[in-house]
Amino acid sequence: MLSKAQNKYIRSLSQQKYRAEHGVFVVEGDKIAREWLASAAAIQHIAATAAWLQSHVNLVNEHSEAIVTEVSQDELQSISQLQTANDVLLVVYKNKTNTSLPADEWCIALDTLQDPGNMGTIIRIADWFGIKHIVATPDSVDYYNPKVIQAAMGGHLRVQLHITDVLSFVSQTNMPVYAAALDGEDVYALKDVQRGVLVIGNESKGISAPVLQKATRKITIPRRGGAESLNAAVSAGILCALLIKP
């Protein structure tokens, strides 16, 4: 059973300021929790039902540093950041920030991305295509927002997440910068693609003008139907599939 202080602490982690203050975030649900527990990630707290703990005792024992608390389903629901709690909740330490920005490998740069579902999906896309770095502006949605964690499905374990001034980054990099824009070159006709930075913009405003001006090439996915635009994460996935060759 959780103490009142533990309950209050875990619930507070739904807010970015407390995640930043304590350097931790919440991971929930059986599949995603098992992936974190199977990794070398540092776990602060494991709160789970008795049945779940009994079924995964070996995974839990691999993290002797973690506080382990057996909780009822109702108690788990009280601390959950999901609409319906799912057997297990972890409080996980954030990785130490890697200050070394990518210089010679594919990277996705996010210019004021706001939607947590998009952010999480783009992290998952990067993980799928073996992209090791994502760079986002400080005013983008928090990498550790609960909805981002759910959508990324473990991508945080393998993708290095940077927060920096994207304009400065694309201005200083020696890699080509490919900016996703409606008036860009047809990505299907693009030739001589080299490893570089793929820039995805804000969901409603797109890429800011100063960042767009620094692009080596503006690229677009040609429209065949009547849709006004593509979702930011969908665009990122399609562009990664077309740009990144085996």
pLDDT at 95: 84
Q: Where in the chain is the domain with CATH 3.40.1280.10?
A: 107-243
pLDDT at 2: 96
State the Cα–Cα distance between residues 92 and 200, nearest whole angstrom. 28
State the Cα–Cα distance between residues 240 and 235, nearest whole angstrom. 8
pTM for the predicted model, two decimal places? 0.95
107-243: CATH architecture = 3-Layer(aba) Sandwich (3.40)
Ranges of residues in the chain whose predicted pLDDT is under 50? none
pLDDT at 98: 63
**Three-state SS sequence of the chain:** CCCHHHHHHHHHCCCHHHHHHHCEEEEECHHHHHHHHCCCCCEEEEEECHHHHHHCHHHHHCCCCCEEEECCHHHHHHHCCCCCCCCEEEEEECCCCCCCCCCCCCEEEECCCCCHHHHHHHHHHHHHCCCCEEEECCCCCCCCCHHHHHHHCCHHHCCEEEECCHHHHHHHCCCCEEEEEEEEEEHHHCCCCCCCEEEECECCCECCHHHHHCCCEEEECCCCCCCCCCCHHHHHHHHHHHHCCC
Q: Where in the chain is the domain with CATH 3.30.1330.30?
A: 4-93
Strand partners, 110: 136, 200
Topology of 4-93 in CATH? 60s Ribosomal Protein L30; Chain: A; (3.30.1330)
